[in-house]
Structure 1
Amino acid sequence: MSVARHDAGLEADLRALLSQVHPVFMLPPIAASLFGGVLAGAFDPRLAGIHALAIFAAVYTAHVKDGYVDFYSRGEDDDHPMSEWGCRAALVGSTTIVFACLVALALLVDAVAALVTLPCWLIGYHHAPQLDTNPITTTTGYPAGIALALVGGFYVQATTFAPVALAFGAVFLVLLSGVKVIDDMQDYEYDLSIEKRTVAVSLGPDRAMSLAYGLMLTALMLVLALAALGPFPPSSVVAVLAFAVVAGFARRADPEIATMLLVRGCYVFLAVLVAAVWWQPLV
């Protein structure tokens, strides 16, 4: 049986499998996992690699399942590069990788390390058709996965849930939920036609836009508050300023361009936070 839907052969199958690797959306969860490890202080590259691989496989599961449901179940997409059998085989493969990593984490760290990582796969596998039909879970699924990746990456290294890790997880949950609202606005007309209840469909574009930037502003204010109170290093303020500049440009753009800017702004935000935590230049 062929993995690829249109062509046959090993090369075609590999292309079909790689088609579900979307770096723009895969890099942030992996980076969050590694950032959590950096935040813990002591950093074991082997444990960090296992956790990051589990996160990658969980997100890959989400992409394959989403494409499978949208094309083969809902008929929403016009085409899909993977055959129905290929989608199922890929889901089995990615899920096997996730659970192999969970077993490794349980053996090398403890059972909690595996349990805190498991929800990332649960969110990915159930994104479609369960979680993407509700405006709340549609919006928070991906951000929650990133927050959990960060907290899990921290726990794998430190075997504890420190307030600073939970605070960073909360910041990313709120910030990325705002970005996700903007991202979903790209498909507003289509989602409205099929009665898919995204935030934009439920509230209307204008109110959804206000909510999105309100969430992002709340996350940035939370970073400033935590930097002032002590859990975050003072240099975290630079990350807030960097993202605020990007958000200012995004506010004037259409949803497609705004999403591109905001996702890349999140990369900058995370990179500056890594530098702030690792080197603490203003301390």
Structure 2
Amino acid sequence: MSLVRHEQGTEATARAYWSQVHPVFMLPPIAASLFGAILAGYVSFALATVHAVATFAAVYTAHVKDGYVDFHVRGEDDDHPLTERGCRVGLVASTGVFALCCLFLVVFVDWVAALLTIPLWLVAYHHAPQLDTNPLTATTGYPFGIALALVGGYYVQTEALAAVPLAFAFVFLVLLSGIKVVDDTKDYDYDRSIQKRTVAVAVGPARATAIAYGLMATALLVVVAFAVARVFPPTAVLAALAFGAVALVARRAPPELATMLLVRGSYVFLAVLVAAVWFEPLTDVL
């Protein structure tokens, strides 16, 4: 049986599997994993790479499973490059890579490192059709994965948990949940037609938008509060200001454009936080 639905051959098969790599959604979890390693101070690049690869494999699993469910099971999508068998092969391959990474973490770190990593795959695999039908889990699944990637990235370096990575993880969970609610409002009519209960479907687009920006504002206020308390570097306030400026513009934009702005704003937010942590010793000297 063929693995792909359209063209045949090795090159076509490679293109079909590569099509399941979505950088916009894959880069943030991987960046969060590496950010966790940076928070640890001394970085073992081998361990950081293994955890980042595990994170990639988990997100790849989510994309393949989502495509399989949305096209082959629900019939929601108009097209998909992989056959049912191709999807299963992709899932086995990504799960195998993830399992090897977890085994490496057990051997070279400890079992807790693997225990903090395994939920990434569990959330990814069960996102569709289980978690994406409930307003809470449909909203928080992806942000929770990013938060967990950050905590796991820190743990594999230190073999310990600390307040700072947990605080950052909380901020990302709340901020990205707000962005996800905005993202879901652009699909309100379609989601409602198929009885998919996102926050927008559950409470209406206007109220969902208010909830979304309330979550984002809360996350930014937490960053400022932690910076004042010196849990975060003082320069972390710049990250809150940068994202806040983007959010003010996005608030007046239609849902699709707002989502694009907010997602890219989250990249800026993360980049400024990385710089704040990386150059914290310089701020202490100054």
TM-score by length of 2: 0.98
**1:6: Cα distance to partner?**
0.8
Query: Take 1:253 and 1:96, find their aligned partners in 2: how far apart are those partners?
Result: 42
- 2:169 is aligned with what amino acid? G
Instruction: Provide the aligned length of Structure 1 versus Structure 2.
Output: 283
- Report % sequence identity: 66
User: Counterpart of 1:282 in 2: which secondary structure?
Assistant: helix
Q: What are the residue-to-residue correspondences of 1:75-154 with 2, within 5 Å?
A: 75-154=75-154
Structure 1 stretches of 4+ with a deviation exceeding 6 A read: none
- 1:185 is aligned with what amino acid? T
| Aligned residues of 1:185 and 1:200 also touching (Cα < 8 A) | yes
User: Counterpart of 2:138 in 1: which secondary structure?
Assistant: helix
Counterpart of 1:202 in structure 2 is 202
**1:3: Cα distance to partner?**
2.1
Counterpart of 1:70 in structure 2 is 70
Tell me whether 1:232 sits opposite 2:232 in the alignment: yes
Counterpart of 1:180 in structure 2 is 180
User: Counterpart of 2:181 in 1: which secondary structure?
Assistant: helix
Name structure 2 gaps, 5 residues minimum. none
Query: Take 2:176 and 2:72, find their aligned partners in 1: how far apart are those partners?
Result: 29
Q: What are the residue-to-residue correspondences of 1:11-50 with 2, within 5 Å?
A: 11-50=11-50
- 2:257 is aligned with what amino acid? I
Query: Take 2:31 and 2:194, find their aligned partners in 1: how far apart are those partners?
Result: 34
| Aligned residues of 1:113 and 1:159 also touching (Cα < 8 A) | yes
Cα distance per residue 1:79-124 (max 9 Å; x no partner): 1111111000000000000000000011010000011000000000
| Aligned residues of 1:32 and 1:147 also touching (Cα < 8 A) | yes
Query: Take 2:270 and 2:3, find their aligned partners in 1: how far apart are those partners?
Result: 36
Query: Take 2:218 and 2:40, find their aligned partners in 1: how far apart are those partners?
Result: 25
**1:7: Cα distance to partner?**
1.1
User: Counterpart of 2:173 in 1: which secondary structure?
Assistant: helix
User: Counterpart of 2:21 in 1: which secondary structure?
Assistant: coil
Name structure 1 gaps, 5 residues minimum. none
Query: Take 1:252 and 1:90, find their aligned partners in 2: how far apart are those partners?
Result: 40
